[in-house]
């Protein structure tokens, strides 16, 4: 019985359907791929421009910003449905960062102006903070959606008379399903920080 329930949790009534891509069509996936590629082009242009300054510290700073931006790329690739909410980060903001980097490199190679450098590093820090915050919002949103989905599944199982962990004890029922078990499909495992949280 437990095996049948786990199969239902994993595949639903239609085992041939791709639950991980539900609601996501190839057009949307292609759109995400194009936008991420465009973002990579902006980051590459930033790296090329900052190399002209010959300043290793600035090169490292741009590299750090690129790593932060790629965390957002990763979240969008894993959640294509969120592309509309993050589009301006990969387009407008990265384009602005590229343009600012090119202009700064042009100026700094000629003047070594410390104020221009300070302003540029402040800009990178602000951008990095905003990109990181957007990434966290997407991760937290996914976690909240998973929590809701898990509770809905538990409620449905309860209505079917199947006891889950934390449900009412009944010796006539099969052993409780442990959603933290290694036998549960990976896409249903709760994030580490939530695994030990008591069910509501």
List, for residues 113-170, the tens digit of each pLDDT value: 999 999 999 999 999 999 999 998 888 876 676 677 777 777 777 777 766 555 444 4
The model's pTM:
0.63
Cα–Cα distance, 42 to 191 (Å, whole number): 32
Instruction: Please provide residue 177's backbone torsions phi and psi, each rounded to the nearest 5 degrees.
Output: -80, 130
Return the closest-CA partner of residue 195 out of 137, 150, 142, 145: 150
Token pair 């499909």: residue: 185
Helices 26-51 and 56-78: crossing angle in degrees, nearest 10, is: 180
pLDDT at 176: 43
Q: E strands of 84-179, at which residues?
A: none
Residue range 50-67: average pLDDT?
A: 97
Question: Are 70 and 121 contacting, i.e. CB atoms less than 8 angstroms apart?
Answer: no
164 SS3 class: strand
Residue 58 pLDDT greater than 60, yes or no: yes
What is the rounded average pLDDT of the residues 38-67? Answer: 97
Find the helix or strand (DSSP H, E) in which 70 lies.
helix 56-78
- Percentage above 90 pLDDT, the chain: 45
Note the pLDDT of residue 145: 64
Q: What is the largest CA-CA distance in the chain?
A: 82
């Amino acid at each position: 019985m437990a095996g049948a329930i786990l199969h239902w949790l994993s595949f639903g009534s239609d085992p041939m359907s791709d639950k991980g891509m539900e609601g996501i069509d190839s057009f949307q996936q292609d759109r995400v791929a194009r936008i991420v590629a465009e973002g990579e082009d902006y980051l590459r242009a930033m790296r090329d421009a900052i190399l002209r300054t010959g300043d290793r510290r600035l090169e490292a700073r741009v590299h750090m910003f690129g790593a932060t931006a790629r965390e957002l790329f990763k979240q969008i690739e894993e959640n294509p449905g969120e592309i509309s909410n993050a589009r301006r980060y990969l387009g407008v903001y990265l384009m602005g960062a590229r343009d600012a980097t090119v202009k700064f490199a042009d100026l700094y190679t000629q003047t070594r102006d410390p104020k221009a450098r300070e302003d540029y590093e402040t800009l990178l820090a602000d951008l990095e903070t905003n990109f990181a915050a957007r990434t966290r919002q997407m991760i937290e949103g996914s976690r909240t959606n998973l929590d809701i989905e898990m509770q809905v599944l538990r409620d449905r199982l309860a209505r079917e008379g199947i006891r889950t962990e934390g449900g009412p004890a009944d010796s006539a029922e099969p052993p409780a399903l442990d959603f933290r078990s290694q036998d549960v499909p990976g896409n249903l495992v709760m994030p580490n920080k939530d695994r030990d949280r008591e069910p509501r």
